[in-house]
Amino acid sequence: MATDSSTPQTLLILGASGDLAARLLLPGLGVLLASGVGGGLALVGSARESWDDDRWRKRVADSFAAAGAAGPEVDAVAGTSRYVRADASDEEDLRRLLGAVEQPLIVYFALPPRVTMAACRALAGVGLPSRTRLVLEKPFGTDSGSAAALNDLLTRLVPEDQVFRVDHYLGMSTVLNIVGLRFANRILEPVLDGRHVETVDIVFDETLGLEGRAGYYDTAGALVDMIQSHSLQVLALLAMEAPSTLEARDLRDAIAQVLRATRIWQDDPISFSRRARYSAGEIDGRRLPAYVDEEGVDPGRGTETLAEVVLAVDTWRWAGVPFRLRAGKAVSALRKEAVITFKQPPWVPTGLTGYQRPDRLRIGFDPDWLRLDVNVNGPGDPSVIDPITLDATLGSGDVPPYGQVLARVLDGDPTLSVRGDTAVECWRIVEPVLAAWRNDEVPLESYPAGSTGPDAGRPLL
Ligand code: BG6
């Protein structure tokens, strides 16, 4: 049920006083408004805190300003925004809240998964106007069973195409650019398969540590926070078959199909997963305490800040190619990229010497770039192989990922959101690893903040 984004709508944020709203959601909205999308939007914030309109408007204005968003539409939304105190898991509060807002309505759950589930249960008792759209943050549920139960609950509230499971990586233009890179030319796609590719690495290393997010992160950890969501979406775009269109149904079918074929390498989560946690260290001259000494962390939980898994994609195209996914916090350098490493050529003509490293296609996310490391025999001595790099910088788009995701929500277009079956599938893929870790079958390693990670950054396999 698409609605033109210029139709006046109400965006109701539950969990409005939280970190997510301030750091990502409101800045994304601000830039979107400044770009001319979302005119006439009514913004309502709600949380359990006893804030008033003024305090909330300041939060909105500060977040818009931090993103550099300015203009009449930005000021209008910030200046007319309202705050309604409510406990999102309480039916009475929700009934009152829904009675206080205009329709059509978009409800954004900027809440931890358990509270989101409780809020959905309460909403089922209250009932929602039929055109309402629901926007949910990751992690969607806490395992495949709870994700499936949440899907069932949501379909009792609104139809699936009015449910938006947000993964802001799907809003990154470079991530979507993977589709064009693979399917808008005849050069790359023919060699992206198990005959030519040795390995695929998807790496998201950050220099940031916990950043005061223990309340959420300490119960999630790197595997759930990054790999179960963002990295698997990137894997899906890299490994899927060509969709016929970029419409929601085609793109999401292609993503679902490849994720259904994805599992832990050799079904062995003990050998093909790794977990580690940062100890005290220094990054860019900044001292970072050990993760366990960060405020709000329970060391007994054994939460990992770096996770690595090796996955297999059981399709004709990808059989035998390991996909290594790694995500780590507080490592030495920011590195967000997919690296496709090619096999050696079947034969290099005798007389050409000096093969040193494989050909690689590297796709950098945020900043966005593309590099092709390729072996040739120039410049210099024509009998010696010289690797060269073809380099391109891609635009990252004017609107940040959260803005792009929100633009689709305002338009009623679910293309960039995760479909219900896919959300369950992503849990199914990582669950054997979570179980092995729970049973302590994989040691929790340690790495100093600011280092390249455990085992000097050497990948598994
Ligand atoms: C979020 C995670 O979804 O993605 C964070 O919760 C992580 O822990 C962030 O830092 C990374 O996103 P980006 O856009 O900075 O790559």
Q: What is the pLDDT of residues 33-80, one digit of tens each?
A: 999 998 889 999 999 999 999 999 999 999 999 999 999 999 999 999
Check: CB of residue 281 under 8 Å from CB of residue 288. yes
Any idea what DSSP says for residue 459? P
Alpha carbon nearest to ligand 1 atom 9, residue: 226
Q: How far apart are CA 35 and CA 22, in angstroms?
A: 19
Give the binding-site residues of ligand 1, using a 6 Å CB cut-off.
Answer: 206, 225, 336, 366
Judged on CB neighbours under 10 Å (0-12, 13-18, 19+), 212 is exposed
Query: 53-66 vs 26-34: helix axis angle to the nearest 10?
Result: 70
Using the mean position of ligand 1's atoms as its centre, give its distance from the Cα of residue 67 in Å. 17
pLDDT of the residue at 364? 93
**Ligand 1 binding pocket mutation candidate from 175, 230, 234, 418 (most atoms within 8 A of CB):** 230
In the set 57, 59, 230, 326, the catalytic residue is 230
Using the mean position of ligand 1's atoms as its centre, give its distance from the Cα of residue 168 in Å. 8
DSSP H or E stretch at residue 248:
helix 248-260
* Ligand 1 atom nearest to 169, measured from its CA: 14
**Ligand 1 binding pocket mutation candidate from 211, 225, 294, 399 (most atoms within 8 A of CB):** 225
pLDDT of the residue at 174? 74
Using the mean position of ligand 1's atoms as its centre, give its distance from the Cα of residue 8 in Å. 31
Residue 56, number of CB atoms within 10 A of its CB:
26
- Three-state SS across 410-452? HHCCHHHECCHHHHHHHHHHHHHHHHHHHCCCCCEEEEECCCC
Amino acid letter for position 372: L
pLDDT along the chain (461 residues), means of 10: 64 95 95 91 97 97 96 95 97 96 96 91 94 94 94 95 93 84 96 98 96 92 97 98 95 97 98 98 95 97 98 98 98 96 95 93 90 90 93 82 92 94 98 98 97 88 83
* Ligand 1 atom nearest to 216, measured from its CA: 6
230 is known as an active-site residue:
yes
Alpha carbon nearest to ligand 1 atom 4, residue: 226
Check: CB of residue 31 under 8 Å from CB of residue 402. no
The residues near 338 (Cβ < 8 Å, ≥ 6 apart) are 178, 200, 201, 202, 203, 234, 238, 362, 363, 365
For the segment 70-80, what is each residue's pLDDT rounded down to a tens digit? 999 999 999 99
Judged on CB neighbours under 10 Å (0-12, 13-18, 19+), 351 is exposed
The residues near 336 (Cβ < 8 Å, ≥ 6 apart) are 203, 204, 205, 364, 365, 366
Check: CB of residue 46 under 8 Å from CB of residue 85. yes
pLDDT of the residue at 397? 72
For the segment 347-398, what is each residue's pLDDT rounded down to a tens digit? 999 999 998 899 999 999 877 899 999 999 977 889 999 999 999 998 767 7
Using the mean position of ligand 1's atoms as its centre, give its distance from the Cα of residue 100 in Å. 33
* Ligand 1 atom nearest to 220, measured from its CA: 6
Amino acid letter for position 342: F
**Ligand 1 binding pocket mutation candidate from 19, 138, 226, 305 (most atoms within 8 A of CB):** 226
pLDDT of the residue at 368? 84
pLDDT of the residue at 172? 80
Q: How far apart are CA 9 and CA 129, in angstroms?
A: 13
Amino acid letter for position 264: I
